Structure 1
Amino acid sequence: MLSWLPSIPYAPEQGGYWDPITSTLDWCEENYYATEYAAEIVNTLTNLWFMYLAFKGMFNCRRNGHDNVFFVAYLGYLLVGAGSFAFHATLKYPMQLVDELSMIYTTCLMFWATFAYSRPQPIQLLLGVFSVSLALFITGYYHYLQDPTFHQNAYAILTAIVLFRSIYVMELNIRPFYRQRHEEHEKAQSSPTLTEAEKTEEKRKDRRDSEILRTMWVMIAFGLSIFLGGFGIWTLDNVYCSKLRAWRHEAGLPWGIVLEGHGWWHVMTGFGAYCYIQWGIWLRHCLNGRQDEFEMVWPAWWSVPRVEKVAVAGNGSVSKKTR
């Protein structure tokens, strides 16, 4: 396979700077074949993409005045990438906990942000206490069990709850509002008191609202597909590890890197998680009735989407910001 391409043979697995391994997990990538300072070089370096997206998200939040909870979510996202970087470089148990538990904590933060939105202050406080208690319970029980399956299941369940709750909020709080407003608009069309300018503005809002919902669903489908695709590749990496290792050694470096399934998991789920937070930011602005103040900038599916503030001209009209 690919024998006609120039390649560098894999070095045999050997000990490294961070030995001995103390983590409860050791992935399919061979250890210390590239450098003695990184146990799993591809799994380590792919986290730089995670960290880049986290910084990009934090910068976007500060630049455009998004809610602070999303800045903190991206900060947690950065901790996930940094923890995973340290974990795969060292294969040490403390670094494994930083990697895995930061995923739980960031998801618990999004759990609180999703369920506490627009609730009375006492309810927000109770949900905050519940979220912190849940995070502490998962931390203690996982450390007691030291079973990665428990962490993976807890993370998957939390992520699914947050995702479906957000979709529920979008459909029951945005779409009914749009539908009701559209019906009121249809009735108002026959009113002699409604000016032509007002009718034109209502039609613009209808088109805007329909486009927002369409793009939101495209974003959900895209982000979920990327996330599940990364999970599928990671699963194949676990199930067919011995065969993949043989193929990698046959192909040699750098071509064998393409078959590093856990590295693809980092790249794909990192992008999927980033898209989800951007969608959450946009959803929050729409729930606050600020659709005309912010826009989703997503030129192509392979580009990184971002929610940006729309510039307001001196005459009060809106225009796209210079990018």
Structure 2
Amino acid sequence: MMFQLPSWSYDPPYSGYWHPVTSTINWCEEDYYATPYAAEIVNTLTNLMFVILAFKGIRNCRRHGHDTVFLVAFVGYLLVGTGSFLFHATLKYPMQLVDELNMIYTTCLMNYATFSYSKSRQYGFTLALALVSLAIFITLYYHYLQDPAFHQAAYGILTAVMLARSMYVMEFSLRPSLRKNEENFRLHHKKSMTADQKEVSRADDLRNAKILSTMWILIITGLSIFLSGFGIWQIDNIFCSNLRHWRRELGLPWGIILEGHGWWHLLTGIGAYYYLIWGIWLRHCLNGRQDEYSLVWPSILSLPEIVRSEYSHGIVEPNFARKIR
């Protein structure tokens, strides 16, 4: 006789408190099978990942004095999670707009932070006007079409452009800047450098190399987590009927493991958090403040933070991401 995990069966759907469904899209999770007060209970509760990490990021920005644009970005990240929570709880069209359009607006904000750095005030104003116009166009056209594929394409393009630009800045602005600073130091002190100064220079070279390598580890980790969530969500879309059958065979609570859109929330929430932390660290390094801040990342299973260096004393990190000072 095969061993079976203890479970209970899925009940017939409740009469939903928010019925009828008015959203233009519904997900693979069955509606109102657990409670009448949340249409999709797993898809609703997994958005708490965004809320928790948003408050973590907001607190970190306020405590350690990161640029205001990242504080605003974490507020936007919080609104994305809150909007998605309300959307999946109600499956109402207005809540769908709150969820999906917040994703567009927050990504536009991060594009502004990425493309406006070190540019003139006039350039920044023009860029802001262009992004606001784009956000308004996406809002109106999406409301007209009511086609989720349009929103997903717009969000994907904005995210890809933002990532590509950030990676370009890291490699073609930050890397040459760090190298130039060291070369200038050696040029001006070549004849008068003491043995201690040469040792400091070598240590700075090593630190700069670690900064860039750790940045790549950070963004690749975040992007891998994000894309894993996207992949699981696509499996959820393609094999929905099979997954629903398997969930009912497993029973509760084990069937929850096969809720692919819930995994999308968890993994993309973590992946987006990694991107914001990477953006903060990149901005501080571009500003030449890498001595004032440290990337604290105790293990691959923990979440990274950027803290003022005086707060990071005594924290030991593993070899994959040593603390950079």
What is the deviation of 1:178? 2.6
Task: Name the TM-score, length of structure 2 as normaliser.
Answer: 0.93
For 1:41 and 1:266, how far apart are their aligned partners in 2? 13
SS in structure 1 at match of 2:306? strand
SS in 1 for 2:134: helix
> Partner amino acid for 1:242?
S
The answer to whether the aligner puts 1:53 opposite 2:49 as a matched pair is: no
Distance 1:224 1:55, change over 3 A: same
Structure 1 gap segments, 5+ residues each: 313-318
**CA distance in 2: counterparts of 1:127 and 1:56, whole angstroms:** 29
Please say if 1:62 is aligned against 2:55: no
The answer for the alignment partner of 2:122 in structure 1 is 122
Does the 8 Å contact 2:13/2:34 carry over to 1? no
**How many Å separate the matches in 2 of 1:295 and 1:187?**
28
Q: In the alignment, which residue of structure 1 is the partner of 2:162?
A: 162
- The percentage of counterpart residues that share the same residue type is 61
Alignment partner, residue 132 of structure 1 = 132
Structural mapping, 1:59-138, within 5 Å: 59-138=59-138
Contact 1:310 1:321 in 2 (8 A): no
Counterpart amino acid of residue 13 in structure 2: E
Q: Deviations over 1:217-263 (max 9, x none)?
A: 00111111001100000000000000000000000001000000000
Aligned-partner residue type, residue 98 of structure 1: V
1 CA distance for matches of 2:314 and 2:291?
13
The structural deviation recorded for 1:321 is: 6.7
5+ residue gaps, structure 2 = 317-325
Assess if the C-alpha contact under 8 Å between 1:311 and 1:321 holds in 2. no
Q: Does the C-alpha gap of structure 1 residues 264 and 193 become closer, same or farther in structure 2, counting only changes over 3 Å?
A: same
Partner of 2:285: 286
Supply the distance in 2 between the matched residues of 1:322 and 1:244 (Cα, whole angstroms): 44
Who is 2:26 aligned against? 26
2: distance between equivalents of 1:29 and 1:285? 42
In structure 1, distance between residues paired with 2:297 and 2:164: 23
2:171 alignment partner AA? E
Quick one: which amino acid aligns to residue 236 of structure 1?
I
Q: Tell me the equivalent position of 2:320.
A: none
TM-score, normalized by length of structure 1?
0.94
Q: Check conservation: 1:108, 1:131, Cα contact below 8 A.
A: yes
Q: Deviations over 1:133-163 (max 9, x none)?
A: 1111100000000000000000000000000
5 Å-filtered alignment, 1:152-301, equals 152-184=152-184, 191-301=190-300
| Equivalent residues of 1:3, 1:250 under 8 A apart | no
Distance of 1:156 and 1:124 partners within structure 2: 23
Q: Aligned-pair RMSD on alpha carbons?
A: 1.7
State the one-letter code of the partner of 1:286: C
Deviations 1:68-120 (A, max 9, x none): 10000000000000000000000000000000000000000001111111111
2:261 and 2:51 map into 1 onto residues whose CA distance is 16
Three-state SS of the structure 1 residue aligned to 2:23 is coil
Take 1:262 and 1:3, find their aligned partners in 2: how far apart are those partners? 29
2:231 counterpart letter in structure 1 = G
Question: Residue 177 of structure 2 aligns to which amino acid in structure 1?
Answer: F
In the alignment, the residues of structure 2 paired with residue 139 and residue 301 of structure 1 have an alpha-carbon distance, to the nearest angstrom, of 38
Q: Which runs of 4+ in 1 moved over 6 A?
A: none
Contact 1:32–1:39 (8 Å) recurs in 2: yes
Q: 2: distance between equivalents of 1:94 and 1:294?
A: 42
1:320 maps to which of 300, 310, 313: 313
Contact 2:44–2:85 (CA<8 Å) still a contact in 1?
Answer: yes
